[in-house]
Chain A
Amino acid sequence: MNKRDLLAYSFLTVFAVFTIFSMLSMHSFGVPDENAMDQYIIDNTVEETGASNGVTAVVFDYRGFDTLGEATVLFTAVAGVILVFRRLKK
């Protein structure tokens, strides 16, 4: 076992220990510690956005920046694919 393997194994051990301890200290599924934001969105979605679908209200209104980033990712992907695949016949 050389120096690099020793470094890798020690890093993996530390990483695994931290992961296991953070898993053990997680709250149980479906019971968030802080639910003020969730309750705010559930209570005020219809009055503030007028949308019956709460998920779309979050995606397009409360988190519009996230959707803008998603649209930019799609735009970049399409631009890249068109750039790679066009004009290769010459």
Chain B
Amino acid sequence: MKGMSLIVRTIANISFPFILIYGFYIIAHGHLTPGGGFQGGAVVASGLVLMLIAYNAEWISQRIKESHLSIFESLGALSFVLLAFLGIIFGTAFFSNFLVGTESLFGGIPLDGAANINTGGIIPLMNFAVGLKVIAGLFAIVYVMAHFISKKEGKIA
């Protein structure tokens, strides 16, 4: 797996930051606009996969390690479950939205109908947790498969 031509690499370099910004925008505005943690995480993971196929697996593995992806995915899953359990302690039940209606961050209620990012209670935090999990998880799948292919090609050639 040698990577692709200079044209593809240049276009990937240009479009990569915009894909990341778009994906993180979808994650951060999950409680206001269509999308959320799963969708935005898939967009960000697609941008990372674009870099992986434009360059090659070794180039990516010098920058991101597979163990880091595992740690990030477990971190997202754990913070998601932890937020759900905090609902038992501070609220009424598992997954109860204990932040809504309070003075804390994300505690507002948009009764006037305007889209305000400082609303939603624990929903934005859960979007971030699921987004982190989906980014690391989907990219880890492609990463491991790309390394498998590059090792196989090296053995044959």
Contact = CB atoms under 8 A, between A and B. Distances in A.
A50 B110 CA distance: 6
A68 B80 contact: yes
Contacts, number: 119
B101 interface: yes
B148 interface: yes
Query: Number of contact residues on A: which range applies?
Result: 20 to 34
Query: Which secondary structure dominates chain A's binding surface?
Result: helix
For chain B, the bracket of interface size reads 35 or more
Contacts of B73: 75, 78
A10 B36 CA distance: 47
**The 9 A-B residue pairs with the shortest CB-CB distance in the complex, in nearest-first order:** A64-B95, A51-B31, A78-B137, A50-B119, A50-B100, A51-B120, A85-B144, A85-B148, A50-B109
Interface of B: 30-34, 36, 38, 66, 70, 73, 77, 80-81, 84, 94-95, 97, 100-101, 106-111, 113, 115-116, 119-123, 126-127, 130, 133-134, 137-138, 140-141, 144-145, 147-148, 151, 155
Given A49-B120, A65-B94, A85-B144, 11 more contacts: A49-B100, A50-B106, A50-B110, A52-B113, A53-B30, A53-B31, A60-B30, A61-B95, A67-B126, A71-B133, A81-B145
